[in-house]
A and B are shown apart, each in its own frame.
Chain A
Amino acid sequence: MKEIEKARRRQREKLHNESQRLFDRVAQSSSDELLFKFAFNLDCENRDTVGAVGVTRDMLFVATEGEKNGDATSVTAHRIADYTEFKARVNIGTVSLEGERDGEWIEFCRTDMTLSPYVTDAARCLSALLEYDGEGTPDIVYEPDRRICPICHTPYDKGVTVCHNCTKPASNFKRLMAIVKKDIPLIIVAFSMFFVLSLIKIANPALQKVLVDGYLMPSEYVGAQEDIFKGIITVVILLALLQLVYRVIEVIRSNILVLVSTRLVKKLRTLLFDKIQLLSISAVSRRTSGELINRMIRDTMHISEFFSGYVPQLIENTLIILFVGVAMFLYNWRLALLVLIPAPIIMMITRRVWRFTHRLYHRQWMMEADSNTILHDVFQGIRVVKVFGMEEEEIKKYDKAIKKVAEVSEKNEITWAKIIPYMTYIIGIGNYIVMAFVGTRIIGGEMTVGDLTMFTAFTGQIYYAFDWLSRLPRRLQMTSTAVSHIFDIVDEEVDVKDSEDAIEDFEIDGNVEFSNVSFGYEEAEDVLRRISFSVKKGEMIGIVGRSGVGKSTLINLIMRLYEVREGSIKIDGVDIKNISQHCLRSQIGVVLQETFLFSGTVLDNIAYADQNASREDIIRAARLAGAHKFIMKLPDGYHTYVGDRGYTLSGGERQRIAIARAILRNPKILILDEATSALDTETEQIIQNSIAALVKDRTTFAIAHRLSTLRNATKLIVLDKGKIAEFGTHEELMRKNGIYASLVLAQRTMSTIAKKS
């Protein structure tokens, strides 16, 4: 392990050292101060190289190692002002920094993905420098390192600020302890019980020795038969009592631990759930819902099991090794040494074996998961399978998968069956040492039969404890991974944050202004570039463009589900960054293409927009949305259960409920994202009327594929290649005969063809 870590560090240091000299060369070439610099590791043909880039206010320097001899370092200088654009181009496995000059692109440098943050951030900063007008110091912040672990230089996962490589399990467990802080007195009580339990455990063999040596096989005369009889009964009663005490304490201890661990799970789950609710859409959608549920359920369960099941065993076994070890040494140090010397070796062997078998079974488990995926797919997509007549193929595919599982599990079982007997033998090996050692001394009269029973019992206990401990690292790893999974989310920086002085009670009037807004989901790729427009209160803005052009992104920015990268969005003159998210979104109503209904009644679903709405308000909203009529046809009226396991509503019905929701909210700004595109024309007509009622006197942003839906729009924004290509009223844009006009014409032709056929 350490070797590989060292090699990794060597790899980093080598690049660092070799680039250092190049940085010096760059610094020599420039009279100005370097704003930022970075090293790169590939040449333009993807061969290994070392190079360095340095950027001053006006210049970009690229230093490269000419040949391997190191002398032929060459530095090329580029004037930033000569370029019109800088870009980090993400290829497959590499990133290159390019600039456009006189309509031609030039590649400055190239790296593999390991150093990619340096290049993407450089492109961002260079673009900012292009706009810098020469007054004062340019306002650029080059900080690719914020995404790289300072210790091992591995890029963090997006949004995460803990490094998987470098988090020590100990620090994770420390944080867990901080969470269970309140329960620490309870844990101490449980811990002290372990002492008692372990003591009882070693008292057992000692008492047995008394029984054997004192009464059953005494080496000398100990008294009358009656006394012996009494003695035996006393020892047996003592043994039974101790056993009873042991069990009672064990029950109490388990109860305490279960209590502590369930509390811990509850706290972890609350912590996680709260955090997930706080995170921005981008942070949440980066993970699948399955993954999030796994972390909520499985990882927390893992930790709980560890605490209630493994920690007690760990303490108990450690104490036993300690106590039994000491007891053995005190009684006969020679024998103790003989028994203990092979222990580490045996522990190493068993550890290796456990690791090996774990990997075998993990592999089997992965294969089983694969075959389960096939099942899942087939059952979910049974209609597709049937319609395409692929039953035979699916059967074959599944057969193959389970055959593979069967083969592997057979192999594993055979290996297992081969290993286990030997393992048991190895763990029992200490007994032979004890037998030989004590046996020869019984004959000589130095030791007794009682010594034999006691030492055999001790050896069993101590070897069992060693065996158990050898299996622990695996479990410790699993738990540690689970813990770091959880803290990963808990520590994730909330990327859309309310500032401290965010306005809580801002009343929106409805004027919206975009100025120079740029945004992209990926660092290197902008979806929207320098978008500027303004909308007055009560206007309806239609957003038009090809799919993937950034229409939904634009409205997501208005709702501040994502943070703009550059520029600002103002509502009534106030930057939305300065309005609390809750305040902002509570005044925005949204109707999306796909309406999600929560499991619950129709009433619950409409009231989701306003928990305090009166029943009458809800009916009014439903009536306005054209939903009241169909709701009344449902068996339980507004109390009809809908959602996952409830009554199935049609698309149009769902949409009308969504509109009712939006109406009830009485928003100042309304967003319609393809609100009617999933519906047939007739239903759309009905809903259009509801929408018309909704839109009145509100600033509305509407996205629609069917352009006829937007005929009431005051103005239209046509997006193309991430920029505003056209902006104006329907008539203006038709006269302009540009993208919008061609889209309208295309749709007209389509509908005529549809009518004719």
Chain B
Amino acid sequence: MERKVFDGVGDIKFLTPENCIFTKNENGFIKASVDGAEPIRVYLYRVFPHDMTDKYISVTDSDKTELGMIRDIAEFGEDIARVINDDLNRRYFIPKILAITALEEKFGNSYWNIKTDIGERTITVRDTFKSIIRIGEDRAIVSDEDGNRYEIVSLEALDRKSYRRIELFL
């Protein structure tokens, strides 16, 4: 149950299939019509990007004014949920690291050969200790020096060799 902080003020405007229609235009952008208004291009942001990728999605217009929030993408039915998820996947590009095939350290920077879900990459990680951010016990996000991010979904699930390579940086 949502808690009312003040009368009206703290309320979240939730977007539901009843008050909001999402469409995808021919250019591949997502549009929304809220409360029967003219459809406009909207931008989707995950409120809790680390642990709730398909819940609590903030929907804003081009000025970043929040039009409302999706509580759970699934509420919108399979077809619309796909449109929403497609858009989120376009916005959030975080390849998943499947294996670390080599890791060398030099001058505080480290050089990694990684296998990701979108192919092999060679990345340079500056200030290795600080560039690996742990999320909870088992997950980690690695930022390389170009500003790309990579996710290790489960440290535990990494193969032994991969884990050994990054163990000391965790």
Spell out A's residues near B (CB within 8 Å): 1, 3-5, 7-8, 10-11, 42, 44-48, 91-94, 104-107, 112-114, 116, 154-155, 164-165, 169, 359-360, 362-363, 366, 477, 480-481, 484, 721
Besides A4-B122, A8-B124, A93-B148, 6 more A-B contacts (Cβ < 8 Å) are A7-B122, A10-B122, A91-B93, A93-B94, A113-B148, A363-B168
Spell out B's residues near A (CB within 8 Å): 25, 27-29, 41, 49, 63, 86, 89-94, 102, 104, 106-109, 111-113, 118-119, 121-122, 124, 126, 129, 145-149, 168-170
Tell me which residues across on chain A come within 8 A of B145, comparing CB atoms: 154-155, 164
Contact indicator B111/A8 (Cβ below 8 Å): yes
- Across the interface, B25 reaches (CB within 8 A) one of A104, A116, A155, A360, namely A104
Q: Who on chain B is nearest to A720 by CB? A: B63
Contact indicator A480/B107 (Cβ below 8 Å): yes
Tell me which residues across on chain B come within 8 A of A10, comparing CB atoms: 122
20 pairs, A vs B, C-beta closer than 8 Å = A1-B104, A3-B113, A4-B112, A4-B122, A7-B122, A8-B124, A48-B119, A91-B90, A91-B91, A94-B90, A94-B93, A107-B29, A112-B93, A114-B148, A116-B146, A477-B106, A477-B107, A477-B108, A480-B107, A481-B108
Contact indicator B93/A93 (Cβ below 8 Å): yes
Tell me which residues across on chain A come within 8 A of B93, comparing CB atoms: 42, 46, 91-94, 112
**Nearest 8 A/B pairs, CB to CB:** A93-B93, A113-B147, A4-B111, A114-B146, A8-B122, A7-B122, A94-B93, A113-B148
Tell me which residues across on chain B come within 8 A of A154, comparing CB atoms: 124, 145-146
A102 → chain B, closest Cβ, in Å? Answer: 11
Tell me which residues across on chain B come within 8 A of A359, comparing CB atoms: 168
Tell me which residues across on chain B come within 8 A of A481, comparing CB atoms: 107-108
Tell me which residues across on chain B come within 8 A of A155, comparing CB atoms: 145-147
Contact indicator A721/B63 (Cβ below 8 Å): yes
- Across the interface, A93 reaches (CB within 8 A) one of B111, B113, B122, B149, namely B149
A91→B89 CA distance, assembly (Å): 10
B66 → chain A, closest Cβ, in Å? Answer: 14
A363→B168 CA distance, assembly (Å): 6
Contact indicator A45/B91 (Cβ below 8 Å): no
Which of B108, B113, B146 has its CB near the most chain A CB atoms (within 10 A)? B146
A165→B109 CA distance, assembly (Å): 8
A46→B29 CA distance, assembly (Å): 14
A48→B129 CA distance, assembly (Å): 29
Q: Who on chain A is nearest to B123 by CB? A: A8
Tell me which residues across on chain B come within 8 A of A113, comparing CB atoms: 146-148
Contact indicator B27/A104 (Cβ below 8 Å): yes
A105→B25 CA distance, assembly (Å): 10
A165→B145 CA distance, assembly (Å): 10
Tell me which residues across on chain B come within 8 A of A480, comparing CB atoms: 107
Contact indicator B147/A105 (Cβ below 8 Å): no
B130 → chain A, closest Cβ, in Å? Answer: 9
**A92-B107 contact in complex given A104-B27, A107-B27, C-beta closer than 8 Å:** no
Contact indicator A105/B29 (Cβ below 8 Å): yes
Q: Who on chain B is nearest to A116 by CB? A: B147
- Across the interface, A4 reaches (CB within 8 A) one of B27, B107, B113, B169, namely B113
Q: Who on chain B is nearest to A91 by CB? A: B91
A114→B89 CA distance, assembly (Å): 19
Tell me which residues across on chain A come within 8 A of B104, comparing CB atoms: 1, 4
B107 → chain A, closest Cβ, in Å? Answer: 5
A147 → chain B, closest Cβ, in Å? Answer: 11
Contact indicator B90/A46 (Cβ below 8 Å): yes
Tell me which residues across on chain A come within 8 A of B147, comparing CB atoms: 93, 113, 116, 155
B77 → chain A, closest Cβ, in Å? Answer: 22
A1→B124 CA distance, assembly (Å): 12
Tell me which residues across on chain B come within 8 A of A46, comparing CB atoms: 89-90, 93, 118
- Across the interface, B41 reaches (CB within 8 A) one of A8, A105, A366, namely A105
A47 → chain B, closest Cβ, in Å? Answer: 7
- Across the interface, B90 reaches (CB within 8 A) one of A44, A48, A105, A360, namely A44
A480→B104 CA distance, assembly (Å): 17
Tell me which residues across on chain B come within 8 A of A4, comparing CB atoms: 102, 104, 111-113, 122
A10→B29 CA distance, assembly (Å): 34
A155→B144 CA distance, assembly (Å): 11
Contact indicator A106/B124 (Cβ below 8 Å): no
A169→B106 CA distance, assembly (Å): 11
- Across the interface, B118 reaches (CB within 8 A) one of A47, A105, A366, namely A47
**A45-B148 contact in complex given A8-B122, A11-B122, C-beta closer than 8 Å:** no
A370 → chain B, closest Cβ, in Å? Answer: 10
Tell me which residues across on chain B come within 8 A of A3, comparing CB atoms: 102, 113
Tell me which residues across on chain B come within 8 A of A93, comparing CB atoms: 92-94, 147-149
B138 → chain A, closest Cβ, in Å? Answer: 16
A154→B148 CA distance, assembly (Å): 12
Tell me which residues across on chain A come within 8 A of B122, comparing CB atoms: 4, 7-8, 10-11
Tell me which residues across on chain B come within 8 A of A107, comparing CB atoms: 27-29
Contact indicator A106/B108 (Cβ below 8 Å): no
A197→B53 CA distance, assembly (Å): 68
